[in-house]
């Protein structure tokens, strides 16, 4: 089969590789769509230390079940499925108490120990598969994972009707957070970033207020909007340590802060301030049991994901997103790409 193989920092090429063969409890899936994630760019650059070459990336994966093996009962050949990329052992302490996304031996499809879906076929454990209704198109399906992760994060900081929320980072995850906050009953959602076109998309999809931090002082503006109180919930979804510090500053006393971004450096935070104001800080990883709800939200058109797709590519075109700087430098108005096979 054809696959896009990462062979080390800045080395990614289309190659002919052996078609994978599923073993007990595994499913062979014919790839139909894959979301292109910013973490794949980290892999390309060699910054994601858990990724070991050679590796086929691609974890936001969807497709059609081609073959099942002994022990598989939840899917059949021909089923349309989306895939939870977290792969767990089922035996360690965290798996046995139900927190499988914190598995001591966790792998991640296309990132850590398992080849992914930048290929014509891929394999996953059958428990990673979730049925897709016919009314979800393949390009939409590729964004189920990018919605399911924020959905899990929102579960950790339950939002009360009428609360205020600030979301830093109007990327795909931030736009999903913004829409989820509105669905959950937030009275005001403030979307914060640096790119006007992304903030404009956020406004179109439901943000009440947008702030461009290159033009306004974000702390002063948020405090003015909230009459000096601060927001009830601050969500950092950009991966910027500066944005993380600002998220803490604009969150009210005894407020909740979700640290969702992935950071390339450690942040310097005012721990005395966090202590004094009794902030509750949450981290979130993965999408445990949130994929079925993400599928429902997209199917029922409660969350819109299609407007976020800026590029639709095939395998041959996918390579150029990485090698020609289209993702990294945001060329061609890049926002979110989807691989379609």
Q: What is the mean pLDDT of residues 22-45?
A: 96
Per-residue pLDDT for 179 more than 90?
Answer: yes
Sorting pLDDT into bands at 50, 70 and 90, what band is 287? confident
Please write the tens of the pLDDT for every residue from 307-340: 999 999 999 999 999 999 999 999 999 999 999 9
Which residues, including other chains, have CB under 8 Å from residue 227's CB and lie 6 or more apart?
none
Q: What is the Cα–Cα distance from 316 to 246, expressed in whole angstroms?
A: 41
Separation between Cα atoms, residue 108 and residue 211, nearest integer Å? 35
Nearest to 112 by CA among 169, 103, 180: 103
3-state secondary structure of 280: strand
Quote the pLDDT of residue 267.
Answer: 83
Q: What is the pLDDT of residues 45-60, one digit of tens each?
A: 998 889 999 999 999 9
Confidence at residue 74, expressed as pLDDT on a 0 to 100 scale: 94
Query: In the predicted model, what is the mean pLDDT of residues 154-180?
Result: 97
Strands (DSSP E) found in 215-310: 231-236, 251-259, 280-283
pLDDT grade, residue 1 (50/70/90)?
very high
- In the chain, what are the domains? 2-143+309-340 (3.90.180.10), 149-283 (3.40.50.720)
Question: Are the beta carbons of 219 and 246 closer than 8 angstroms?
Answer: yes
pLDDT band at 268 (very low <50, low <70, confident <90, very high): confident
What pTM value is reported for the model? Answer: 0.95
């Amino acid at each position: 089969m054809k696959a896009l193989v990462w062979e080390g920092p800045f080395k990614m090429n289309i190659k002919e590789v052996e078609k994978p063969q599923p073993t007990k409890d595994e499913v062979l899936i014919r790839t139909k769509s894959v979301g292109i994630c910013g973490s794949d760019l980290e892999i390309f650059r060699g910054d994601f230390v858990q990724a070991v070459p050679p590796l086929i990336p691609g974890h936001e994966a969807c497709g059609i079940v081609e073959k099942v093996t002994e022990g598989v009962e939840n899917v059949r050949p021909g089923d349309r499925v989306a895939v939870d990329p977290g792969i767990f052992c089922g035996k360690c302490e965290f798996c046995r108490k139900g927190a499988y996304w914190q598995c001591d031996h966790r792998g991640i499809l296309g990132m850590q120990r398992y080849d992914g879906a930048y290929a014509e076929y891929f394999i996953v454990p059958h428990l990673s598969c979730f049925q897709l209704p016919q009314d979800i198109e393949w390009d939409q399906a590729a964004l189920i994972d990018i919605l399911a992760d924020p959905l899990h994060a929102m579960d950790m900081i339950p939002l009360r009707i009428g609360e205020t929320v600030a979301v830093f980072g109007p990327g795909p995850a931030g736009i999903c957070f913004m829409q989820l906050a509105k669905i959950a009953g937030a009275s005001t959602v403030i979307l914060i970033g640096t790119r006007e076109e992304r903030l404009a998309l956020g406004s179109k999809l439901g943000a009440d207020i947008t702030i461009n931090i290159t033009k306004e002082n974000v702390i002063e503006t948020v405090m003015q909007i909230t009459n000096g109180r601060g927001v009830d919930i601050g969500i950092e979804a950009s991966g910027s340590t500066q944005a993380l510090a600002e998220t803490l500053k604009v969150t009210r006393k005894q407020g909740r802060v979700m640290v969702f971004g992935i950071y390339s450096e450690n942040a310097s935070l005012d721990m005395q301030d966090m202590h004094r104001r009794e902030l509750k800080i949450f981290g979130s990883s993965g999408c445990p049991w949130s994929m079925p709800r993400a599928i429902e939200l997209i199917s029922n058109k409660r969350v819109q994901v299609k407007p976020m797709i800026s590029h639709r590519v095939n395998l041959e075109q996918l390579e150029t997103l990485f090698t020609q700087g289209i993702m990294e430098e945001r060329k061609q108005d890049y926002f979110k790409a989807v691989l379609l096979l």
